[in-house]
Amino acid sequence: MLVPVISRRCRNLKGYFSVSEAQTSAINLIAELRQLEDLIDQVSSTVESQRELLLKRRLAMPPTILQKLGELQQEFKRLEDNVVGEQTELQQLRALSDMSTRITNSLDVDTVLQETMELVIVLTQAERGYIILRNPESGELEFRISSEGGLLGRGMDRGGAPQISMTVVNQVIETGEPLLADNAFQDERLSSTESIINFVLRSVLCVPLKYKDQTTGVVYVDNRLVSGIFTERELNLMLAFANTAAVAIANAHMYSRAEQILAEITRVKELMDNIFSSVGSGIIAVDSNDLVHTFNRSAGEILDVMPDAAVGYEVDHLIKNTALQLADHLALVKEKNMDHSLEVSADLPGRGQIALALSLSPLKDGNDRTQGVTLVMDDVTHLVEHESTIREMKRILPEGMVDQINEIANIEMGGVRREVTCLFADVRPWTTLPDVTASEKLRILNQYQAVATACIHECGGIIDKYMGNEVMALFNTQLNPEHCHAQRAIDCALLMRDHYIDLYREMGIDPEPHYYIIGMYTGVATLGNVGSFQRREFTALGHSINTAKRVQENAAPGSITILQETLDHLNHNHSGNLAYDIRPRDLIYGKGLSQGKQAYEVFRNR
């Protein structure tokens, strides 16, 4: 009957122990545990007597009863030891808490560290203690705090170095790991160390001072008289103290620079205010509630809003016509924590319709948490109008001329002589067009010219002019320099053939031969602006241009025809095998040609 009672008392005691922290409760726990141990002794004696009586009567008692009682007695002894250890550790933790409070709240870090080091020595039963720091510039070790009021008196002479194991200190600094030696003479790691032998060191405990994963020094304590006084409990205490001391020392360094940093922050703030005021882009800082905190002068000019009327208000009212759209983008930046760019159009009072380019970025605090959004705003109204004008010009003028409009304007009126390849293409002769209205004929003709235009642009050519059903293209002008310009012109013609075949298929026609007539010539021409200073046009003139036209006029329908000069340029400027099938044709005669010119027709090399 007694065993279940004792077991039940044990369970109740464990629950009581887990919630008791005060010192008086711990004393009561120890007293109750000892009473239970005495009770178990009495029960064990009684059980032993009962067992002997049963043996005399030739009866047996279960052998596990005494074993279970012994286990219970050991358990209570273990609980008693734990209570004592926990009470000791509790006292250490309270002292550590007080030390941490004093260290972190004091501006005189060295004085507080000296006092707390003396308390650490008492708590760990050490004899001496030191805080040793590594100079970040020289790398040398410096004793910041020394406490040597132990049983053997001071451990170093005036002006001398402390008699401690620098081997242990260096090892902890290099590895960043604590070292605990409860009997330094018998510890294999230290038994051969000269300082351990010479300084009669027995118990040694050294832990690293770490700040931001960097070992900045160590906390070192030892005892030259007693072995085995440092346990895992003292090690944990020292680690906690070292962490607090490392932060305190780092804070002391930062505090010594506080006034300097504050002055620098003030200077930077004034500089940033000046920059924000002078920068051309509008800058608006919005907090997590979409309230404006920063609004520079340029933002006020762009939005026609005074800064005083913007700061503290919601950003939505600043761009009234795009408030909902802008609110969606602000939410996207804050939720996704990512940059975002967009262009918006707004009708603002006092300015009318304007175009704005906005760059939105998360506004983060020191912990990298998004606290709002920064908007960088540029008025791009003139750029949008300019791009619209350029798009309209490209629909009328050759694309290369529009893209290089500044370079064309700088070309002298007299022009320059330059070797070019000129291509003429009759996309569909008038006689092959169906008998339909003039507007329908123009629609059909535009389909063919669109194919030619796309091919010329793709191959880097410049369209000089459209002449009804014909188009003239130039290769190797000042606007599209190309070393192998004859090859580029031939590639353009072959690309036209491929696309026209596709067009025939789409239109459901099967011409035989093909409608197009393409001719080209390579030679020197004069390129430049013609007209007046008020109205001018970039073009090419000369015998080479006229010859290219004659080649096209005398070529057969559905053919790509070149002369010997183009073939010579092709062979001279291409080192590899060309994928062309070039077949000789009859001589070409025409206006401006004193004698017949050898012609060739070009095909793809199948």
Is the same domain home to 283 and 338? yes
Is the same domain home to 482 and 503? yes
Structure tokens at 128: 């001496």
Query: How many CB atoms sit inside 10 A of residue 510's CB?
Result: 7
Spell out, as residue ranges, where the chain has pLDDT lower than 70. Answer: 1-31, 33-34, 66, 76, 80-109, 149-161, 183-201, 259, 269, 272-280, 317-325, 348-350, 386, 389-414, 531-537, 575-577, 592, 606
Say if 268 falls within a structural domain: no
Say if 390 falls within a structural domain: no
Say if 553 falls within a structural domain: yes
User: Residue 356: its pLDDT value, please?
Assistant: 80
Say if 72 falls within a structural domain: yes
Helix (H/G/I), strand (E/B), else coil: 371: strand
- CATH assignment of the domain containing 176: 3.30.450.40
Cβ-contact 478, 416 below 8 angstroms: yes
Is the same domain home to 316 and 462? no
Exposure on the CB side of residue 342, measured as CA atoms within 13 A: 17
Question: Cα(102)–Cα(293) distance, rounded to whole angstroms?
Answer: 39
Is the same domain home to 40 and 149? no
Residue 180: partners with Cβ closer than 8 Å, 6 or more residues away: 204, 205, 230, 232, 234, 235
Say if 507 falls within a structural domain: yes
Cβ-contact 605, 578 below 8 angstroms: yes
Say if 271 falls within a structural domain: no
Is the same domain home to 69 and 118? no
- CATH assignment of the domain containing 432: 3.30.70.1230
Find the domain containing 540 and state its range: 397-604
Is the same domain home to 368 and 465? no
Say if 267 falls within a structural domain: no
Q: Determine phi and psi for 528, rounding to 5 degrees.
A: 175, -165
Residue 139: partners with Cβ closer than 8 Å, 6 or more residues away: none
Is the same domain home to 211 and 235? yes
Is the same domain home to 70 and 125? no
User: Residue 558: its pLDDT value, please?
Assistant: 92
Residue 284: partners with Cβ closer than 8 Å, 6 or more residues away: 292, 294, 295, 296, 299, 310, 315, 318, 374, 375, 377
pTM: 0.41
User: Residue 157: its pLDDT value, please?
Assistant: 43
Question: Cα(370)–Cα(363) distance, rounded to whole angstroms?
Answer: 6
State the total domains in the chain.
4
Strands (E), 380-516: 416-426, 462-467, 470-475
- CATH assignment of the domain containing 38: 1.20.58
Is the same domain home to 377 and 418? no
Question: Cα(530)–Cα(116) distance, rounded to whole angstroms?
Answer: 94
Q: Domain end: 350, 384, 418, which one?
A: 384
Is the same domain home to 128 and 26? no
Is the same domain home to 469 and 525? yes
- CATH assignment of the domain containing 330: 3.30.450.20
- Reported as a single tens digit per residue, the pLDDT across 113-168 is 787 788 778 778 888 889 888 887 888 888 888 887 543 333 344 455 677 878 88
Structure tokens at 581: 């099938």
Question: Cα(128)–Cα(153) distance, rounded to whole angstroms?
Answer: 10
Q: Domain end: 334, 355, 384, which one?
A: 384
Say if 264 falls within a structural domain: no
User: Among candidates 164, 233, 234, 242, which has minimal Cα distance to 199?
Assistant: 164
Is the same domain home to 299 and 202? no
